[in-house]
Amino acid sequence: MASTRASTSRLPVIEPRAKRTHARRSCVICKIRKSRCELPDLNVPSGPDPLPEDKACHRCKVLCLPCVVDDSNRNQRKRKDPPTVSPGPSQGQETPEAGPSTSKKQEPISAGSSNTLSSKFSVPSQSSIHAIDHSLDLLPGLPIFNGQTLAADPVDNFEKLKRELGARGVDGESANTLSIKLHGRPLELTCAMLRVAYGRKEKRGKRMRLEDDEIEVDVIIDEAMTARLAPGVSQLMTYHPHLDDLPTMFNEYKRNPEPTIALLIATVAYLASTVLPSDSTIIHLRNQLTPFIYQRRDFLLLHHPHTFFALQVLELFITHCPFGILPIQPTNLHTLGVAKGVTAAAKNISNKLNFDKLIHQILAGPGLRHSFHCGDIWLWLALNAAEAAAMLEESNPQKPVQLAEARRITESFFKFTDEGTCLWQERLGKGEITVLVGRLALCDKIARLEEVLDGMARIRGVLEHSASDPTVDPVRGILTEFEEYTKKTDEIDRRHEAMMVMMQGYSKSIETGWVTYRAIRRRYEFSKLHVSGLRALMATHFLPGSPYAYPDLPSFVSPAHAVAYAIGRACHPPDIVRFIGGTSSVGGVTPAVQAVWEWGRRRRMNMEHNLAACAELAQTYQTYGSDLTGLVYACIVPLHECICIAVESSKILMEMEAGTIHILRSHNQLSKAVRPRPWLEIMKQVSQAMHNVSMMMHDDGLGGETLANGASNLIGSMVRVAEEWLTSSQEEAARQGTEDITLDPAQSHQGHDSNTNPQVYDSHRQSGVASHQQYMDKSDRWMAGNNQSSISHQQPTPTPPMHTDTPILNSPDQSHYKYHTPVLARLPVTTQLDGLLSDMFGYSCNPAQPPQNQATPQ
């Protein structure tokens, strides 16, 4: 009893520390509940990821909730100034906090602010916008300033980041599972990679608070500037047919000087200016518009004004600013995230305006022609298309409620009117060609989005049906959905191409940017369906009730729960290894495994085509042309989205190539891995082109980096890893006793001429190599095939029949690119950060130890 009283008497002594813990560190759950957060370790790093179970607070551990401690914003604000002040008592730190607004207001005006900022960099006269961080970027020949780099101590920073990621539980298997779940989500993937790549940096180069936004848009955008921006506004209409031209918007603004109209004008002007060369006038315009747009946008998101102009602004931001950042504007890449709140704000404002009810009234009005020419109809359609496109970035996409209604409306516009006329043809030659192209583009976008979302839902439905009825073959049903999706999208393509041919005589190539972007977006959507289908094919072996189910699976109450369990297992790396290495009851490959290999190769070639298209688009974005008035302009595209698609395409190709190298290594045939990789040369071009795009931004000395330059660094890191594969393959092949690994012309084309009899995965499974050494357990690497390398044809068993499609399996036409043979004597050296990125995101190909007694196929 005495000991019990003694222990209870100590409780009041411990409580003050717990209160201080709550005051300084608290997880999100405890903040919401306004309760004390009892963290076992006060030094856990802050971040958006849940803490491991042993680091979680008591409440989250008991309730089995994710424990997230994210106080980065608060720490940044407090720790920005104290390092410059001599250490002293806590009273001296209260004075700066008493008037933070005063210091912030004076900061943009103070002439000494630039000196303070530049002193934080190793390059005194340059910010990090144009300077290249060579500890991450690898492309040789890129310019650096004063021969210096910005990486102060990459080794120490790498170790610090590795410890931080380990404390969050983001290492090993959990990181690989996260990488798998990011497949088909290029925006989220790019954010995740940039957070890792830039997490080792000190939090420097943060953008300061924006300057005064009180500008007169009708003054800075005068008649001369309006005429110069006209080509860009016309190109914007090919994506947003609900927009008016600038003179019309200014007339509305003069009648009703509403803040959201001014914000719409400023946003349209900024986006339209991206097609113009960055001369002093355009730079001055962007510098004035940027703070105005950001602060008025924040006001809009806070207050949700009930105006249709606000909806137009938000629809522009969803398309061109998916991260909330204006194109070619710098930001803090370490804290980059998808701006999901913009879509939510648009839905809320639309509901407050009863927009759906208004649309139904318009549709019930005078007739089809009236609906076709009503701008509110196209704004409503654009908002639904934007919501559906944003849904593809979710981990479990659901079809928006209004998308089917939007598709029905757009399909009605392709029918003849009561008078027997075509709505599209009767407006040709009447000066509305940009609006017509935009309407066609929007109809096409809605049709494709509904098909991909419906296809994903039907694939999940196949699994649910199989879970409830063991006689249903889920593999056949999934492959049928692949074929149906291809058939339906081909019909959409034929209609779109026929309509574009009809308009090309009037369009003056205004649709160039849209057509190029559409091709990239279409391949991405096809890849998105591929990801869902391939994951569902693997889930067939983990689905209770399926004819392919393993015997050691639990039972579930409903098919929906069983499907969720199976898909979760399909994202688990050890279960992927088990699936790929499995055989049927008769000893051959299972239909699901065979389908995964076949459609995995098709996805690979699809990504090669998309990467080539991104390289071409990057060149188009920088290539300026002139119209009949002599104005010089480029093409408008959703730049940030295309950049992220290029990053994902590069990563997928790296994953699959790493798997191929691993298979060759397992068979002591690494000499076949020494060969040119055409897609690697395209990656170099994409990386350089993105860096050139980032140079379009005027260096204002405020720090930060553009998304284009960050993506250039990421792809550059992948190139460095791939180049390192060549030297490591040579060294390993030498250890394995390879006598001749010279790169002769016959060998260089070996992979592209061996599309028949693909036997890599079959021979790999039949060999005596351990299962954990056979197939990659991360990401897409288990899809590696021999479309670029050929294993020995002396196999003990024949390869299961595969349906090869030569046009799909062949590499994309890359003859219009200028390739340079890699110089083997001067390869870039990989860094520890390159290794961390490749390991966390599934394209690591670490050299194996010298082989011991490893079985080789006979």
Confidence of residue 790 (pLDDT cuts 50, 70, 90): very low
Q: In 221-279, which residue ranges form alpha helices assigned H by DSSP?
A: 223-237, 246-255, 259-273
SS (H, E, C) 392-425: CCCCCCCCCCCHHHHHHHHHHCCCCCCCCCCCCH
Task: Decide if 781 is inside a domain.
Answer: yes
Residue-level pLDDT at 245: 93
Do 24 and 67 lie in one domain? The reply is yes
The HSE-up count of residue 19 (CA atoms within 13 Å, CB side) is: 6
Whether the pLDDT of residue 127 is over 50: the answer is no
554: left (phi over 0), alpha (psi -120 to 50) or beta: beta
Whole-angstrom distance, CA of residue 718 vs CA of residue 714: 6
Do 169 and 212 lie in one domain? The reply is no
Do 804 and 780 lie in one domain? The reply is yes
How many distinct structural domains can be found in the chain? 3
**For a pLDDT cut of 70, what percent of the chain falls above it?**
66
Could you give the C-alpha distances from 549 to 26, 566, 578, in angstroms and in order? 44, 10, 12
Task: Decide if 688 is inside a domain.
Answer: yes
How much is the average pLDDT of 717-744?
A: 70
Q: In 424-511, which residue ranges form alpha helices assigned H by DSSP?
A: 433-468, 474-507
- 294-312: pLDDT as tens digits: 999 999 999 999 999 999 9
Do 67 and 187 lie in one domain? The reply is no
| DSSP assignment letter at 672 | G
Q: Which residues contact 249 (CB under 8 A, 6 or more apart)?
A: 261, 264, 265, 268
Do 761 and 854 lie in one domain? The reply is yes
- 458-474: pLDDT as tens digits: 999 999 999 888 888 99
Residue-level pLDDT at 174: 58
> In this structure, how many other beta carbons lie within 10 angstroms of the beta carbon of residue 502?
16
Supply the Cα-derived Rg of the chain in whole angstroms: 29
- 743-761: pLDDT as tens digits: 443 333 333 333 333 332 2
Residue-level pLDDT at 730: 74
Count of positions (residues) in the chain: 858
Positive or negative, the CA dihedral 365, 371, 376, 379 is positive
How much is the average pLDDT of 35-55?
A: 82
Whole-angstrom distance, CA of residue 322 vs CA of residue 326: 9
How much is the average pLDDT of 582-599?
A: 77
Q: What distance separates the 2 farthest-apart alpha carbons in the chain?
A: 98
Whole-angstrom distance, CA of residue 268 vs CA of residue 232: 9
Comparing 377 with 149, which gets the higher pLDDT? 377
Q: Which helix (H) or strand (E) holds 316?
A: helix 308-320
Quick one: CA torsion of 733, 735, 740, 743, rounded to 10 degrees?
30
Q: Is the model's pTM score more than 0.75?
A: no
Do 690 and 816 lie in one domain? The reply is yes
Q: Which helix (H) or strand (E) holds 258?
A: none
Do 611 and 715 lie in one domain? The reply is yes
- Domain of 49 in residue numbering reads as 2-72
Task: Decide if 158 is inside a domain.
Answer: yes
Residue-level pLDDT at 88: 40
Comparing 290 with 656, which gets the higher pLDDT? 290
- Asked if 66 and 50 touch (Cβ cutoff 8 Å), the reply is yes
Task: Decide if 381 is inside a domain.
Answer: no
Whole-angstrom distance, CA of residue 310 vs CA of residue 320: 15
Do 141 and 271 lie in one domain? The reply is no
| Chain mean pLDDT for the chain | 73
Task: Decide if 529 is inside a domain.
Answer: no
Whole-angstrom distance, CA of residue 456 vs CA of residue 467: 17
Closest CA to 717 of 676, 690, 675, 683: 683
- 220-278: pLDDT as tens digits: 999 999 999 999 999 999 999 999 999 999 999 999 989 999 999 999 999 999 888 88
Whole-angstrom distance, CA of residue 260 vs CA of residue 266: 10
Task: Decide if 513 is inside a domain.
Answer: no
Q: Which residues contact 141 (CB under 8 A, 6 or more apart)?
A: none
Of 267, 296, 329, the last residue of a domain is 329
Task: Decide if 467 is inside a domain.
Answer: no
Q: In this structure, what token pair is assigned to residue 443? A: 């109809």
Do 627 and 667 lie in one domain? The reply is yes
Do 853 and 789 lie in one domain? The reply is yes
- 829-838: pLDDT as tens digits: 666 777 777 7
- 401-413: pLDDT as tens digits: 999 999 999 999 9
Whether the pLDDT of residue 823 is over 60: the answer is no
Whether the pLDDT of residue 144 is over 60: the answer is no
SS (H, E, C) 115-159: HHHHCCCCCCCCCCCCCCCCCCCCCCCCCCCCCCCCCCCHHHHHH
Do 595 and 712 lie in one domain? The reply is yes
Whether the pLDDT of residue 169 is over 50: the answer is no
- Asked if 663 and 581 touch (Cβ cutoff 8 Å), the reply is no
For residue 625, list its beta bridge partners. 633
Q: In this structure, what token pair is assigned to residue 117? A: 């900022």
Task: Decide if 785 is inside a domain.
Answer: yes
Residue-level pLDDT at 458: 95
Do 681 and 692 lie in one domain? The reply is yes
